[in-house]
């Protein structure tokens, strides 16, 4: 096989769709061949631009945004005329800001364990373009100073006045910052000036707040200026789902209720809430993971084929899918909270003893749902979703279970059951894909063994230096919103879970904690499937051949 030519297609439209007019999650990877990075992006540099990062001293900027920019520099994917303005509340010089970022990068490279060093040339290219500005995000005066700084930079860029504002700030600042940007005239676009904002998660905490935030920011911006991030869409393996489905002839004909029995989507984490207790107490697993990350996986696996990879074509199909999700009743949902337990050989405490968590907390750290999708393709096919903290292993995967073959032929053989075929999409950390099927065990008797065909990314493609934000930032700079959330998509996702949010708020759980750290989650989540004659696949970090798992 020609491995070079089998590289995944970049999942972005070939033309921009716009014309002028808590971040501890990522595994930071920095050391890789710049040529390998460059190969993953189309041969197209963004135009001159200035990126302004609100929240320059925060975790997200340090761990994800700046490392992603560094990887883009190494891949030659940023324009020469490029500048970065960092804004935050703290008094600090540009030099001190760069110094703190340099220390952080050195820490990442050390932690990478491959003995590499920072690419000094790329790093000084980047730091040489950085400017720090102290400012209160809520004060008009900050934006007047920002305008001045931006004008200076635009002057250096020969008059091009493209500006990207990255809101790496707490969600309560999203609305105020955008209003201030609007009031200062900084969002006005013209022939040689596009103006865009990147907004981080969480976008609202329920349907009403998301709709209100959309209404607030849409007074200042047009939809094509808004890039709402869901970092799951920055994952190569998530982007690959559409290629798997639509660039291969064999899957799509089977991708419907005639052939698919049910689908399991799992996002299991071993981490607890760490230092995020205050945020998590008012959020919980349902809000934190479901209408955003798990729904993105659901959309990729279940949406109708878009007519093109154009941003609006793709996002319209996602929105349609979310609108087809049945209201989720509490009978089809399970919530859990971790108690103390043993995780990866170490004793860990319960959620209620985490910092900034109430000793009587009713916040769920686990959720399992059974979803129905009311359309011709999926009617009657259950989609089971589960996510939780402090589970036995870290893994994100989608398992498509196909219908069983009729048994009649095997009635008179020792075969007592026919295992179903499962197409397993391993999103992380053991990225790949496998298809399980039945084979005859060699011998005189008819005996069936479960076997599988496996594709692991690492066997085909060089590891890519990525923190998962490179594609997202790059796409925003070239004006491709395919991998970003549109207002109606976000609202449709919140709408799908709103009934459950309300029901759970009305009836707090009375059995917390109900799963031990290091387990697979609450027993009730197992019952959610057994009552349909199904069972969750085991939660495992490493992919194992079916024969090894017995
Ligand atoms: C974040 C959630 O959006 O995603 C976290 O707030 C969660 O609670 C994280 O841990 C999971 O992301 P990833 O990329 O580590 O799977």
- Categorize the per-residue pLDDT at 464 as very low, low, confident or very high, splitting at 50, 70 and 90: confident
Structure confidence at residue 347 (pLDDT): 97
Q: What is the chain's mean pLDDT, rounded?
A: 90
Structure confidence at residue 218 (pLDDT): 98
For ligand 1, residues with CB inside 6 Å are: 22, 25, 201, 269, 288, 396
233 alpha carbon to ligand 1 midpoint, in Å?
Answer: 12
273 alpha carbon to ligand 1 midpoint, in Å?
Answer: 10
d(CA 49, CA 194): 9
d(CA 202, CA 210): 9
For ligand 1, atom 9: residue with the closest CA: 25
Mutate to test the pocket of ligand 1, among 232, 288, 469 (most ligand atoms within 8 A of CB): 288
Contact 175, 217 (CB under 8 A): yes
Nearest to 302 by CA among 383, 247, 238, 243: 383
- Categorize the per-residue pLDDT at 466 as very low, low, confident or very high, splitting at 50, 70 and 90: confident
* Distance in angstroms between the alpha carbons of the first and the last residue of the chain: 32
Degrees, nearest 5: CA angle 308-431-452? 100
* Cis amide bond preceding 429, omega within 30: yes
Which numbered atom of ligand 1 lies nearest the CA of 389?
A: 10
The token duo for 467 is 């923190």
The token duo for 246 is 């639509």
Which comes out higher in pLDDT, residue 447 or 100? 100
Structure confidence at residue 6 (pLDDT): 38
d(CA 222, CA 20): 11
pLDDT tens-digit series, residues 364-388: 999 999 999 999 999 999 999 999 9
- Is a pLDDT exceeding 90 seen at residue 494? yes
47 alpha carbon to ligand 1 midpoint, in Å?
Answer: 31
437: which DSSP letter?
E
Which are the contacts of 338, defined by CB distance < 8 A and separation ≥ 6? Answer: 272, 350, 351, 365, 366, 388, 389, 390, 513, 515, 516, 517
**Quick count: other Cβ atoms within 10 Å of Cβ 148?**
11
For ligand 1, atom 6: residue with the closest CA: 288
Exposed (0-12), middle (13-18) or buried (19+): which is 136, by Cβ within 10 Å? exposed
d(CA 37, CA 77): 9
- Is a pLDDT exceeding 50 seen at residue 453? yes
Structure confidence at residue 359 (pLDDT): 97
Cite the active site residues: 293
- Is a pLDDT exceeding 50 seen at residue 221? yes
Residue-by-residue DSSP string for 498-544? HHHHHHHHHS--SS-S-EETTBSS-HHHHHHHHTTT--PPP--SS--
Least confident span in 373-387, 406-420, 425-439, 461-475? 406-420
pLDDT tens-digit series, residues 22-81: 444 444 455 455 555 555 555 578 999 999 999 999 999 999 999 999 999 999 999 999
Which numbered atom of ligand 1 lies nearest the CA of 27?
A: 15
133 alpha carbon to ligand 1 midpoint, in Å?
Answer: 29
Least confident span in 12-26, 74-88, 182-196, 223-237? 12-26
Exposed (0-12), middle (13-18) or buried (19+): which is 417, by Cβ within 10 Å? exposed
Nearest to 146 by CA among 224, 190, 88: 88
Say whether 164 sits in a helix, a strand or coil. Answer: strand
Over residues 330-344, mean pLDDT: 97
Cα-Cα-Cα-Cα dihedral sign, residues 74, 76, 80, 81: negative
d(CA 505, CA 111): 42
Which are the contacts of 434, defined by CB distance < 8 A and separation ≥ 6? Answer: 423, 424, 426, 452, 453, 454, 455, 543
Structure confidence at residue 7 (pLDDT): 36
For ligand 1, atom 13: residue with the closest CA: 25
d(CA 200, CA 227): 9
Contact 354, 348 (CB under 8 A): no
Structure confidence at residue 24 (pLDDT): 41
Structure confidence at residue 546 (pLDDT): 57
The token duo for 114 is 């491959």
The token duo for 294 is 């798990």
Least confident span in 19-28, 60-69, 296-305, 509-518? 19-28
Which numbered atom of ligand 1 lies nearest the CA of 276?
A: 8
What is the pTM for the complete model shown? 0.91
25 alpha carbon to ligand 1 midpoint, in Å?
Answer: 5
- Categorize the per-residue pLDDT at 448 as very low, low, confident or very high, splitting at 50, 70 and 90: confident
Query: What are the φ/ψ torsions at residue 34 (nearest 5 degrees)?
Result: -55, -35
User: What is the side-by-side order of every strand in the sheet holding 260-268?
Assistant: 333-336, 366-371, 383-388, 260-268, 395-402, 422-428, 432-440, 448-456
The token duo for 189 is 């676009």
For ligand 1, atom 10: residue with the closest CA: 25
């Amino acid at each position: 096989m020609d491995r070079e030519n089998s590289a995944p297609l970049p999942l972005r439209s070939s033309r921009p769709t716009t014309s002028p007019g808590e971040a501890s999650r990522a595994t930071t990877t920095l050391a890789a061949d710049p040529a390998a990075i460059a190969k993953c992006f189309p041969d197209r540099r963004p135009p001159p631009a200035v990126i302004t990062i609100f929240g320059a001293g925060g975790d997200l900027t340090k761990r994800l945004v700046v490392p992603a920019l560094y990887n883009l520099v190494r891949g030659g994917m940023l324009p020469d005329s490029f500048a970065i303005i960092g804004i935050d509340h703290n008094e600090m010089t540009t030099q001190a800001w760069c110094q703190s970022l340099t220390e952080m990068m050195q820490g990442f490279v050390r932690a990478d364990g491959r003995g590499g060093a920072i690419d000094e040339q790329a790093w000084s290219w980047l730091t040489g373009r950085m400017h720090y500005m102290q400012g209160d995000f809520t004060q008009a005066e900050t934006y007047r100073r920002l305008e001045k700084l931006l004008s200076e930079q635009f002057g250096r860029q020969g008059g091009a006045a493209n500006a990207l504002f990255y809101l790496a700030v707490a969600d309560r600042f999203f609305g105020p910052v955008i209003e201030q940007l609007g009031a200062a005239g900084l969002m006005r676009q013209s022939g040689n000036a596009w103006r865009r904002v990147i907004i981080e998660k969480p976008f609202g905490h329920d349907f009403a707040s998301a709709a209100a935030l959309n209404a607030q920011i849409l007074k200042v911006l047009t939809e094509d200026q808004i890039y709402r991030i869901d970092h799951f869409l920055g994952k190569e393996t998530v982007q690959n789902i559409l290629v798997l489905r639509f660039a291969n002839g064999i899957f799509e004909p089977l991708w419907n209720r005639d052939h698919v029995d049910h689908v399991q989507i799992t996002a299991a984490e071993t981490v607890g809430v760490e230092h995020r207790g205050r945020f998590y107490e008012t959020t919980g697993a349902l809000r934190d993971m479901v209408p955003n990350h798990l729904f993105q996986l659901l959309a990729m696996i279940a949406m109708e084929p878009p007519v093109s990879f154009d941003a609006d074509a793709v996002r319209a199909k996602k929105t349609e899918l979310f609108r087809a999700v049945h209201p989720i009743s509490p009978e089809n949902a399970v919530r859990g909270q971790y108690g103390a337990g043993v995780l990866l050989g170490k004793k860990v405490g319960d959620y209620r003893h985490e910092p900034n968590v109430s000793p009587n907390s009713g916040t769920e750290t686990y959720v399992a749902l059974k979803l129905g999708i009311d359309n011709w393709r999926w009617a009657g096919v259950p989609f089971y979703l589960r996510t939780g903290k402090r589970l036995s292993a870290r893994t994100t995967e989608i398992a498509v279970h196909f219908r069983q073959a009729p048994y009649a032929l095997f009635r008179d053989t020792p075969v007592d059951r026919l295992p179903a075929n499962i197409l397993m999409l391993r999103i992380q950390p053991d990225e790949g894909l496998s298809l399980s099927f039945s084979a005859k065990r060699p011998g005189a008797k008819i005996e069936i063994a479960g076997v599988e065909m496996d594709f692991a990314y690492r066997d085909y493609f060089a590891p890519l230096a990525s923190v998962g934000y490179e594609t997202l930032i790059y796409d925003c700079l070239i004006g491709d919103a395919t991998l970003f959330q549109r207002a109606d998509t976000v609202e449709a996702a919140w709408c799908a879970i709103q009934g459950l949010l309300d029901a759970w708020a009305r009836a707090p759980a009375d059995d917390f904690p109900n799963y031990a750290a290091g387990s697979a989650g609450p027993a009730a989540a197992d019952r959610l499937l057994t009552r349909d004659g199904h069972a969750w696949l085991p939660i495992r970090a490493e992919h194992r051949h079916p024969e090894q798992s017995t």
